Amino acid sequence: MALSREQRERAYRTIALSRALDERMWRLARAGRAHFAVPCSGHEAIGAGYAFAMKPRLDWLAPHYRDLAALLALGMPPRDVMLCFFSRPSDPNAGGRQPYAHFGSRALHVLSQQGPQPNHCSHGVGCAWGSKLLGDGSVTVIAFGDGGAQKGEVHESMNLAAIHALPCVFVVHRNGWTQSVERRLEYATETLVERAAGYGMPGVSVDGSDVEAMHAAASEAVERARAGGGPTLVDASCVRFMPNTSNDDDTRYRDRSEVDAARASRDPLARTRALVDPRFAEAVDAECAALAEEAAEWAEAQPLGDPSTVLEHAYA
């Protein structure tokens, strides 16, 4: 299912903004201006693809921590992303309590992300179960990495979702690395789509650097879930262009030439750029660079925490 021109332009704008923010955060973290960056370059078409298949503020998301593009697509402003990055107390995601990439927003229907991956799978299943009980027609997208997929949490979650035909979609970002550990030491199959059959749910493998393919797969899955057809597993392959986080040194375990080769053929930004008018893309690039710069400067200037508030929010 091809995207309309307007949809292609929205997708490009989202991915370009995600990339501009990502690169700026990486440089700022390397310069010691913030504690922690979690790059998502290479993953953007997955989040953009599934987020544009969702109904914002009706559907729910338990995101992967590399799903900045999805957060932007659902309406998170760049300034909020940067507040999260600088861990400012005014950050609506985590109030200065969690490091960057632990997204969460009630207003945007994004479940709060935690540290241990991927505990949010069962939270997403619970959320989808709530949707079914409430009968409001909402769908929950649950995204996680292929490293996280090895945890019993994912097995239990997919099993339960399939048993009760819950309205959810499991999206696995399959980049082949779990921080420094390569795919063959994490799972014995080439992909993860085989697992869907084991739970009695449909599964689809998709090139996660192709936003049109990702959007098509996610749309079908979301519509099936919304119609009462239960969960789907979307196995989305991609390439992680950057180290795991700003605390990681990937030269110790992988060859940069492998990444460079992948960039040439599987860069979601370049591939989505090919779907829009070059002049549009140039204008968007400039706009996104300016937005990222402004958001970073603004957020960094926001006040640090007030110690008199440190005991707040442990209980209602």
Partner 1 sequence: MSDGAAIRELTVIEAVREALAEEMARDERVIVLGEDVGRLGGVFRATEGLYGRFGAQRVVDMPMAETSIAGVAVGLAMRGMRPVAEIQFADFIHASMDHLVGEAAKIRWRTGGDWSCPMVLRTAYGGGFRGGPYHSQSVEAYYAHAPGLKVVAPSTPADAKGLLLAAIRDPDPVLVLEHKRTYRAIRGEVPEGDYVVPIGAARVAREGRDATVLAYGMMLHESLAAAEGLAEEGIDVEVVDLRTLLPLDRATILASLERTRRLCVVHEDTLTMGLGAELCALAAEAGVLDVPPVRVAMPDLPGIPVDDVLEDAVLPNRATIREALVRLVSRERSGGAAPAHAYDPAIPQASSVIDVALAEEHTRAAIAALAEAARAFPRCNATFAWSGIVEHPDVIVDLDLGPDAPAAGRGTITLVDYGPEGSDLAIPFVRPGQTAAVRIGAVRDGRAYVACAVDHRAVDGADVGRFLAAFKSALERRAAPEAARAR
| Residue 142 CA from chain centroid, whole number | 10
Stretch that binds partner 1, among 48-56, 156-164, 171-179, 245-253 (CB under 8 A): 156-164
**String marking each residue 48-87 x if it binds partner 1 according to CB under 8 A:** ------------x-x-------------------------
Minimum CB distance to partner 1, residue 114 (Å): 6
Contact between 133 and partner 1 per CB under 8 A: yes
Size of the site for partner 1 (CB under 8 A): 46
Q: Are 162 and 230 in contact (CB under 8 A)?
A: yes
Among 7, 75, 97, 254, binds partner 1 (CB under 8 A): 97
What is the C-alpha separation between 280 and 292, in angstroms, rounded? 18
Cβ-based nearer residue to partner 1, 13 or 102 = 102
Helix axes 211-226, 5-30, angle to 10 degrees: 110
Reference 53, options 166, 193, 211; nearest CA is: 211
Q: Characterize 53-64 residue by residue with b for buried, 16 or more Cβ atoms within 10 angstroms of its Cβ, and e for exposed.
A: bbeeeebbbbbb
Contact between 125 and partner 1 per CB under 8 A: yes
Minimum CB distance to partner 1, residue 127 (Å): 4
C-alpha triplet 128, 11, 273: angle, nearest 5°:
145
What is the C-alpha separation between 246 and 237, in angstroms, rounded? 22
Contact between 130 and partner 1 per CB under 8 A: yes
Per CB under 8 A, residues contacting partner 1 are 60, 62, 89, 91-98, 102, 104-106, 111-112, 114-116, 119, 121-131, 133-134, 152-153, 156-157, 159-160, 163, 312-316
